[in-house]
Amino acid sequence: MELPATAIVIAGASGDLAKRKLVPALDALFQQEKLGGAPLIVGTGRTAFTDEQFREHFSISAPFARRLFYHRHLKGLRQFIDTHGTFGRVVFFLSLPPSAYAATAQGIAAEGFGEKAVVIIEKPFGSDTASARTLNRNLASFFDESQIFRIDHYLAKEAVQNMLVFRFANSLFYPVWNSRHVESIQISALEREGVVERGAYFDKAGIIRDMVQNHLLQLLCLLTMEAPLTLRSDDVCCRKIDMLRAMRIDDCHRFQYAGYRSEHGVDPLSTTETYAELQLSINNFRWTGAPVFIRTGKAVHRRGTEIGVRFKTIPRLLFNEAGTIPPNQIVFKIQPAEGIILDIQSKVPGTDNTLSRSTMNFCYRDSFASAIPEAYQRLLYDVLRGDRTLFVNAQESETAWEVVEPVLDRGPVAMYEQGKLPESGLPVRWIDFDEYQGLCG
């Protein structure tokens, strides 16, 4: 689509996110001619840079570097941008601590950008329900909701977007996507590393705030929600909010890895969880009776995010008279390698009805020759197009906080060894996601 002339401002441009993700994503979009004609990219922050010093801060193409400028602080930014041309829209990416969002929004409004401004913020959107509401009210005092884009980068992953296609573009699965056929839903999001340099932030958050409230509840919504009337953002968002309102956390176990309290920035007496297991129920006609199990944490044995849908076992008839046939499973691999895996039973050739488990794999790397775009490329491009489908609105963010509010900072914290999973405290037979690592790996 034809995009208006756009100025893109990165507030906090000397930070790690801008260097690793934002500027490289904008460079890629520029090379694909998706930034519109003659875009202006301005970094701003407290660090004193010349334009050349700022450009040298990044590994980017030479033509894109010439579109890159730096202006220290927000004051005078409007005049600075006006000297470089006329722009129909100014997009602000707040690559800043969430505590600075409201003050920065006020500064942007004070500079007179008004209706031309689009503001992008990234999770966490608050630290609980009350703070999320306060943040949303503060932002709404300066900008209309249509001008605010809340990023959850998990939603831009191709494997996540493909879940809706898998569910609603294939009649094969729709009839069995309910608690009459599904035994349980299991979500596993694990990281091998500890908190590394994020100790000061993480110790105030914990894994439930950092992962469950946003990324993992979003995945669960897309997996379980009813079909939206259209793919317009308002319709998709309404379905996700309906799902969040139907969710309840029935059990929660918190853990902390040994040595966490010695990490830089962490309170020596911290009771913050670095690993959590939760059991949820979805109380609607489609999903009542099919429990949802979530586990997520740091400093375990591997890295990977998967969603497993385990179906109910078949009756003890025909091939299953002994009751030994395992249930069918569908595994969505979200990262690091994207794919969908279907477990089925098949007959071993040359035998008298000896059965063996087989897997049907759909692997992105094998099915598509082109490189999978990085999540921030998709998100930034959607902002430029005004497409809000992959973004979270104010009501959705607050409703997600309401789901996890009852378990925030509640209950004892057990210890576990680094490099190992804690012993599960939930009544679940976990899908062995480890055995799928060689598939689409």
Structure tokens at 48: 């004193």
Tell me the sheet residues that pair with 150.
121, 392
8 Å CB contact between 388 and 230: no
Residues 6+ positions from 3 with CB-CB distance below 8 Å:
34, 35, 36, 37, 384, 385
User: Can you say whether residue 353 is alpha, beta or left, with left for phi > 0 and alpha for psi between -120 and 50 degrees?
Assistant: left
Q: Does residue 210 contact residue 254 with C-beta atoms inside 8 Å? A: no
Residue 149 token pair = 């884009």
Q: Which of 215, 253, 264, 301 is catalytic?
A: 215
Residue for token digits 């979200």?
A: 334
73 catalytically annotated: no
Instruction: Measure the CA–CA gap between 66 and 54, rounded to whole angstroms.
Output: 11
What is the 8-class DSSP label of residue 430? -
CA 309 to chain centre: 19
* Ordered strands of the 89-94 beta sheet: 68-72, 40-45, 6-11, 89-94, 117-122, 148-151, 391-392
- What are phi and psi for residue 77, nearest 5 degrees? -65, -35
What's the CA gap between 66 and 68, in Å, rounded? 5
386 touches 363 (CB < 8 A):
no
Inter-residue contact 10 to 69 (CB < 8 Å): no
Residues recognised as catalytic: 215
